[in-house]
A and B are shown apart, each in its own frame.
Chain A
Amino acid sequence: MKYSLALLALPFLCAAANIPRAATVTTLPAYTGTLTLTTATRIPAGGSYDGKMKRIDTGHPCELDVELGDADIVFILGEGATLSNVIIGPAQKRGVHCLGKCTLNNVWWSKTCYYGLSIVNQKAGDKTTISGGGAFGVKAADNGMWSDLNVMTRADSVECSHREQRRWYR
């Protein structure tokens, strides 16, 4: 598989990997105002929404294990929609759903709740682009399945009984 090939080539690639790159912004940008939208804001297919750097959430606090309703997601993007320049605030159960391919430009999450963006039903051959922005959240406690392997595991985070069988194939 591809990963085996990558391994063989690693010493050579290490030298080549140090290429110039632009700096990434590592702090949450200041917001220009706050907005509470108590039901999801739907951006129609092919449409766009510019948050103008407002902090926007639904006003409903994060809950992890919940049947999602319209009030729980801040933005729902139709296929081909674009969301730009917004800070998803902390009071929300989910940040952004894309119903197909979508584009996010300079979108920030001040505190993710379970996940920031879910691409729900993108078609094969389509591409979603996330450019700029960032996310702040809380890392779950290390359950030991992650730290001791040189490769990622495919283990489910709650059921670890066969972790040794769940390493990535490559």
Chain B
Amino acid sequence: MWNAVIENNGAGTVEISNFYAEGFNALYKSPGYSAPGAIARHAIITNVSAKNGNNLAGEFGALVGADLNLDTDDIRYQLQLWRYCKDHEVELDLGYQCVQQIPGYHGQE
């Protein structure tokens, strides 16, 4: 079972704001595609609280080497790409959290 709250299976933008999610694998996900850049998708996530989840955003494709289709202009969202609710008891407020407070973050691999 893979529990996503919101899936974008089309193109375009999804904007999520003032939202709460508890118990999830992804707040937002969109499936990957084999051709790089096949479908451009944008996500803007602001003022979201999340608890007991794995990832706030994910994109999944079975093929290795597909380009990253997820894009965003929201820097707060970009910060959250790194680490989310890894420690499940930690409540994470997007739009407020600093990346330095995200457990386990060690910078670029």
Contacts A21-B93, A24-B93, A139-B3 given; does A131 touch B17 at CB 8 Å? yes
A18 in complex: contacting residue of B17, B52, B68, B98, CB < 8 Å? B98
B22 in complex: contacting residue of A120, A131, A133, A137, CB < 8 Å? A137
Cβ of A34 within 8 Å of any chain B Cβ, yes or no, is no
Contacts A19-B96, A127-B15, A128-B12 given; does A140 touch B75 at CB 8 Å? no
Contacts A18-B96, A137-B24 given; does A131 touch B11 at CB 8 Å? no
Q: Give the CA-CA distance A170 to B47 in the complex, in Å.
A: 25
With a CB–CB cut-off of 8 A, which chain A residues contact B109? 149-151, 167
Q: Give the CA-CA distance A131 to B1 in the complex, in Å.
A: 26
Q: Pick the most buried of A17, A118, A167: most chain B CB atoms within 10 A of its CB.
A: A17
With a CB–CB cut-off of 8 A, which chain A residues contact B100? 14
A17 in complex: contacting residue of B6, B72, B76, CB < 8 Å? B76
B19 touching A134 by the CB < 8 A rule? yes
B78 touching A166 by the CB < 8 A rule? no
Identity of the chain A residue whose Cβ is nearest the Cβ of B76 in the assembled complex: A17
Contacts A24-B48, A115-B3, A132-B19 given; does A151 touch B82 at CB 8 Å? yes
Q: Pick the most buried of A118, A120, A121, A154: most chain B CB atoms within 10 A of its CB.
A: A154
B23 touching A137 by the CB < 8 A rule? yes
Interface hits, B24-80 → A, CB 8 Å: 24-25, 32, 39-40, 47-49, 51-55, 57-62, 64, 66-68, 71-72, 75-76, 78-79
A140 touching B12 by the CB < 8 A rule? no
User: What are 21 A-B pairs at a CB distance below 8 A?
Assistant: A6-B75, A13-B99, A17-B75, A18-B98, A26-B51, A114-B1, A114-B4, A115-B7, A122-B8, A122-B11, A127-B12, A127-B15, A130-B14, A131-B18, A137-B22, A139-B23, A139-B88, A140-B1, A146-B54, A147-B86, A156-B60
Q: A25-B20, A130-B6, A135-B24 are in contact. List 16 more A-B contacts (CB 8 A).
A: A7-B108, A14-B99, A18-B98, A19-B96, A22-B18, A119-B8, A131-B17, A136-B23, A137-B3, A138-B1, A139-B24, A139-B53, A142-B54, A150-B82, A150-B104, A156-B60
Sorted nearest first, the 6 A-B pairs with minimum C-beta distance are: A134-B20, A122-B10, A124-B11, A127-B13, A126-B12, A24-B49
- B residues with CB within 8 A of A: 1-25, 32, 39-40, 47-49, 51-55, 57-62, 64, 66-68, 71-72, 75-76, 78-79, 81-83, 86, 88, 91, 93, 95-100, 104-109
